[in-house]
């Protein structure tokens, strides 16, 4: 089991945001978390990350990139804690060829290799999202927790990202508000509305009534 929540409530101060959530997620599942803004997707994903920090790569909604560093450095950062301090400092000043090659290969998959030496502050929203995705693809973790990672990407690039993350990670939990992308790419769909799970089904069992409901909870 990757996650098991039983009657789990998540609060900010006195305010309960997610109420009595029951959720079990097995290793290997690919899950889309759907719901409109304010429904609790980010709160739930962050809580899942806190439960499995060691095994998870997390892409927060605000991406967590360092704007005045290059795309290369932001992606290299996934390995800061596995490399020595000396090696990290050397790569900060002058990236090693080996590291540039590794990062470039990841960026090529996301059609972003021409930006490898650009500062993150000079990128568009979609390019920043792909940089955060590349950082996760460079992270040796089994679980990906991604919070609306493709909201600024067109359909083709969204699909490229989905294919790459599903290929790399054993377990994927991804907040989205695009119902079509969710049903096409994920084995299981969880609908959140106002802090409650209103739907939790295998994508293959989703009926047209469920689809209508999902469109409504994502509006």
Where do contacts with ligand ADP occur on this chain (CB under 6 A)?
A: 12, 17, 35, 37-43
Q: What distance, in Å, lies between the first and last C-alpha atoms of the chain?
A: 32
State the nearest-atom distance from the C-beta of 151 to Mg ion, in Å: 10
Out of ligand ADP, Mg ion, none, what residue 159 binds, judged by CB under 5 to 8 A for its kind, is none
83 contacts Mg ion (rule: CB under 5 A): no
State the nearest-atom distance from the C-beta of 78 to Mg ion, in Å: 22
Out of ligand ADP, Mg ion, none, what residue 12 binds, judged by CB under 5 to 8 A for its kind, is ligand ADP
State the nearest-atom distance from the C-beta of 46 to ligand ADP, in Å: 8
Indicate the residue among 41 and 141 with the shorter CB distance to Mg ion: 41
Indicate the residue among 112 and 175 with the shorter CB distance to ligand ADP: 175
* Tokens 């000043």 belong to residue: 93
State the nearest-atom distance from the C-beta of 174 to Mg ion, in Å: 12
Indicate the residue among 37 and 85 with the shorter CB distance to ligand ADP: 37
Distances (CA, A) of 114 to 104, 127, 132, 134: 9, 11, 16, 14
Q: Is 7 exposed, middle or buried (0-12, 13-18, 19+ CB in 10 A)?
A: exposed
**How do 188-193 and 196-202 pair as beta strands?**
antiparallel
61 contacts Mg ion (rule: CB under 5 A): yes
Q: Which residues contact 78 (CB under 8 A, 6 or more apart)?
A: 57, 135, 136, 138, 139
Half-sphere exposure of 100 (CA within 13 A, CB side): 13
Among 24-32, 54-62, 151-159, 178-186, the segment contacting Mg ion (CB under 5 A): 54-62
State the nearest-atom distance from the C-beta of 180 to Mg ion, in Å: 19
39 contacts Mg ion (rule: CB under 5 A): no
Among 18-26, 33-41, 86-94, 192-200, the segment contacting Mg ion (CB under 5 A): 33-41
Helices (H), ranges, the chain: 41-51, 71-76, 85-93, 97-109, 125-137, 155-168, 179-185, 208-218
Q: Which residues contact 145 (CB under 8 A, 6 or more apart)?
A: 45, 48, 49, 56, 57, 58, 59, 173, 174
Indicate the residue among 42 and 158 with the shorter CB distance to Mg ion: 42
State the nearest-atom distance from the C-beta of 7 to ligand ADP, in Å: 19
Contact 190, 21 (CB under 8 A): no
Which one among 5, 34, 42, 136 touches Mg ion, defined by CB under 5 A? 42
Residues of this chain that bind Mg ion (CB under 5 A): 41-42, 61
């Amino acid at each position: 089991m990757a996650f098991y929540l039983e009657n789990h409530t998540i609060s900010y101060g006195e305010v309960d945001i997610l109420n009595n959530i029951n959720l079990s997620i097995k290793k290997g599942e690919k899950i889309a978390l759907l719901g409109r803004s304010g429904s609790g997707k980010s709160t739930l994903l962050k809580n899942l990350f806190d439960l499995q920090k060691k095994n998870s790569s997390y892409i927060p909604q605000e991406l967590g990139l360092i704007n005045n560093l290059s795309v290369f450095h932001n992606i290299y950062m996934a390995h800061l804690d596995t490399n020595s301090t000396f090696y990290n400092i050397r790569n900060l000043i002058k990236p090693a060829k080996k590291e540039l090659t590794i990062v470039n290969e990841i960026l090529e998959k996301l059609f972003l290799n021409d930006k490898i030496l650009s500062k993150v502050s000079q990128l568009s929203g979609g390019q920043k999202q792909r940089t955060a995705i590349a950082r996760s693809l460079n992270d040796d973790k089994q679980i990906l927790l991604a919070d609306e990672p493709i909201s600024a990407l067109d359909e083709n690039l969204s699909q490229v990202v989905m294919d790459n993350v599903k290929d790399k990670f054993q377990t994927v939990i991804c907040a989205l508000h695009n119902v079509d992308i969710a049903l096409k790419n994920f084995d299981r769909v969880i609908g959140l509305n106002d802090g409650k799970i209103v739907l939790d089904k295998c994508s293959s069992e989703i009926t047209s009534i469920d689809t209508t409901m999902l469109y409504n909870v994502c509006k």
